[in-house]
Structure 1
Amino acid sequence: MAEHKVIITDCDHESMEIESRILDAAGISFAHKACLSEDDVVSEGQGATVFLNQYAPITDKVMRSLPDLKLVVRYGVGVNNVDLEAATRHGVQICNVPDYGTHEVADHALALMLALTRKIVLMNEAVHRGEWNYTKSIPIFRHSETTVGVIGVGRIGTAFANKVHALGCQVIGYDPKHREKPSRTLPAHIQLVGLEELLATSDVVSIHCPLDTARNLIDEAELRLMKQTAYLINVSRGGIVNETALDLALEQGWIAGAAADVAEVEPLPSDSPLLRHSQFLCTPHMAWYSEQAALELKRKVAEEAVRFLRGEQVHYPVNQLSYKI
């Protein structure tokens, strides 16, 4: 096999041992860069055939400037930092790794849900203040009489739905990407409804859809549809929930609380008005993480690059090209 140049545009992982082992075994050399801007990518990426990419922007300018580039594999599910239209136009295959942390993200959403519905954080803080009084948690509702609305019924949304169904919850679903019919058969316990019905009916709403089909999907009008006793969870992408509207909803009591693992600007600014609400829980974009998921992600990114350079079919194409190496 001819030698091809692989560049890791950016990656904040502690070790590149897994990528190095897989690429070395295939006889593929690579370089690890620390690109932040599109100019960095253009400067450091000259002559590259493949990019392994975490956050650095892959723009039209980048692809116009790098005619040898034929594949970009993202460390993760989302491709927000990649211009997909330009990639297809320039014949650049974009791949992601959509299945490395499915259960981790679903588990995290479940953990946030239980923390909200069982008032875990609120009561823990009260006990630490010396208050031993369960009545401060009222009201709490039985999960087997709870309706959970799942926005986005792909891999992660379905995994989350299965977990809350095991608690006895009724599950309803809505998919912004496949509004009339999802792309695959769903479990029988997920009943598909319209977005307005889901918001008005659900006791918990959990978001599991990509940003490209759902920017500002939950805005002031949508939050006003929700029950005053309902909770909103977002472990998908910042920008799906309008944060100004969410602040207003929490301030005025349109909903009982919210939890997020993502923000429109990350890290969430320390002066964000959302942080003044005790009924708002936030974690630092960690839902994907477990030791096993982190290793699986690195392995699958490198293996996808090897497949492509060997002329094999990639496993996780995001855009559809007829091009082969």
Structure 2
Amino acid sequence: MPTVLITDSDFPDSNIERDVLNGTNTELKTAQASTAEEVIEAAESVEADALLVQYAPITKTVFERLDGLQAVGRYGIGVDNVDLDAANDHGVQVVNVPSYCEDEVSTHTFALLLACVRKVSSLDAAVKDGTWDWTGGRPIHCMRGRTLGLAGFGKIPQHLVQKVNGFGVDVIAYDPYVSEEKLDGQGIEKVSFDALLDRSDYISVHTPLTEETEEMFDADAFDQMKDTAVLVNTSRGSVIDTDALAEAIKDGQIAGAGLDVLPNEPPENESLSKQDEVVVTPHIAWYSEESFDTLRRTVTSDIERLLNGGAPENLVNDV
């Protein structure tokens, strides 16, 4: 009987995974591993054939030590905590959940943008502290006629564009992997990264984390942006140099930021999250009760199919 190990999760239970695997001749085990060594120890103790992973690092060493490992399933879209090259070298199939929370993330992105532009969080905090003064929010500018710049143009920003259509903003996008024709077809101008920085009143980040995109928003980028600009990130925390962002906001180089993701979660340095111009949420953009269920059922079903001779639907690597 093949064994699936949940290496780690912050889910309240494993009932959804057990429901999916019930009657499939597959055994489920759970652990809370936070390091590669802990993953190896937990997997060896149950002779795991497959891993279901949320945050734990699945490194080259994990693949080298776990000879019987057949598959790794990542709870989410990104697989940056899984060494795909090592997985390929050891013939281990990696699956993810590429489509499950586009509506949730795009809605949360817009919520962060509105909270920053309308200064909802700082005004709410002031009222709760006993201050009733609308002038504490000045200056607030009308969104109509402003420019929203998209860094990346996958499914989530496409949903976001549908949501902002009624607000009278112009939309431009930087994505070297999307054709000008595709963007033109949606009424969006394709621009260079420099033009995105120069022209945008609001920038929403939707890029994966790669060597190319790591800290693409750095001190130089903030220096190039408008001093009235707002930056929103619901993609990957390390796309932004958060130390440089904190300095840029403190120095008035940009107006503020809405962040759902950070390079370290929870943050080790709280200086950024304590700034009045910054709205931070705890990596929740993906979540609704419905997406929560879809996420867990999709990846568990793919792992079950793979272990029992079927073809996975969401294979990430070429094995």
Q: What is the one-letter code of the residue matched to 2:52?
A: L
1:264 and 2:279 correspond: no
Residue 223 (structure 1) aligns with: 222
Q: What is the one-letter code of the residue matched to 1:34?
A: Q
Please report how far the alpha carbon of residue 184 of structure 1 lies from its aligned counterpart in structure 2 after TM superposition: 10
Residue 251 (structure 2) aligns with: 252
Comparing 194-203 with 73-82, which one deviates more in the overlay? 73-82
Identity of aligned residues (%): 37
Residue 61 (structure 1) aligns with: 61
- Secondary structure class of the residue paired with 1:15: coil
Distance 1:184 1:210, change over 3 A: farther
Partners of 1:154 and 1:316 in 2: CA distance? 17
Residue 11 (structure 1) aligns with: 9
Partners of 2:289 and 2:180 in 1: CA distance? 31
CA contact (8 A) 1:77 1:97 kept: yes
CA contact (8 A) 1:153 1:182 kept: no
Distance 1:185 1:80, change over 3 A: same
Partners of 2:103 and 2:89 in 1: CA distance? 34
Distance 1:205 1:144, change over 3 A: same
Mapping of 1:1-325 within 5 angstroms?
Answer: 3-46=1-44, 47-175=47-175, 179-181=176-178, 185-186=182-183, 188-212=186-210, 213-269=212-268, 271-321=269-319
Partners of 1:284 and 1:205 in 2: CA distance? 20
CA contact (8 A) 2:59 2:83 kept: yes
CA contact (8 A) 1:216 1:242 kept: yes
Q: What is the one-letter code of the residue matched to 2:83?
A: D
Partners of 1:268 and 1:10 in 2: CA distance? 19
- Secondary structure class of the residue paired with 2:114: helix
- Secondary structure class of the residue paired with 2:22: helix
CA offsets per residue over residues 257-284 of structure 1, 9 Å max, x none? 1111111111013x43213421011111
Please report how far the alpha carbon of residue 180 of structure 1 lies from its aligned counterpart in structure 2 after TM superposition: 4.7
- Structure 1 residue runs without a partner (length 5+): none
CA contact (8 A) 1:170 1:189 kept: no
Please report how far the alpha carbon of residue 84 of structure 1 lies from its aligned counterpart in structure 2 after TM superposition: 1.1
CA contact (8 A) 2:2 2:25 kept: no
Please report how far the alpha carbon of residue 130 of structure 1 lies from its aligned counterpart in structure 2 after TM superposition: 4.0
Distance 1:184 1:316, change over 3 A: farther
Please report how far the alpha carbon of residue 80 of structure 1 lies from its aligned counterpart in structure 2 after TM superposition: 2.1
CA contact (8 A) 2:200 2:229 kept: yes
Distance 1:310 1:262, change over 3 A: same
Please report how far the alpha carbon of residue 241 of structure 1 lies from its aligned counterpart in structure 2 after TM superposition: 0.7
Q: What is the one-letter code of the residue matched to 1:181?
A: V
Q: Normalization by structure 1: what TM-score?
A: 0.91
CA offsets per residue over residues 96-149 of structure 1, 9 Å max, x none? 112222111111110010011112122223333444333332332222211111
Partners of 2:72 and 2:219 in 1: CA distance? 37
CA offsets per residue over residues 180-238 of structure 1, 9 Å max, x none? 53599455133221111011111110111111241011001111111111100111111
Comparing 309-318 with 292-301, which one deviates more in the overlay? 309-318
Partners of 1:55 and 1:225 in 2: CA distance? 34
Partners of 1:128 and 1:22 in 2: CA distance? 45
- Secondary structure class of the residue paired with 1:143: coil
Partners of 2:23 and 2:170 in 1: CA distance? 49
CA contact (8 A) 2:180 2:189 kept: no
Partners of 1:5 and 1:131 in 2: CA distance? 58
CA contact (8 A) 2:3 2:28 kept: yes
Q: What is the one-letter code of the residue matched to 1:312?
A: G
Partners of 1:189 and 1:43 in 2: CA distance? 53
Please report how far the alpha carbon of residue 5 of structure 1 lies from its aligned counterpart in structure 2 after TM superposition: 2.0
Partners of 2:257 and 2:108 in 1: CA distance? 14
Partners of 2:177 and 2:6 in 1: CA distance? 39
- Structure 2 residue runs without a partner (length 5+): none
- Secondary structure class of the residue paired with 2:263: coil
Please report how far the alpha carbon of residue 295 of structure 1 lies from its aligned counterpart in structure 2 after TM superposition: 1.1
RMSD of the TM alignment (CA)?
1.9
Comparing 99-108 with 125-134, which one deviates more in the overlay? 125-134
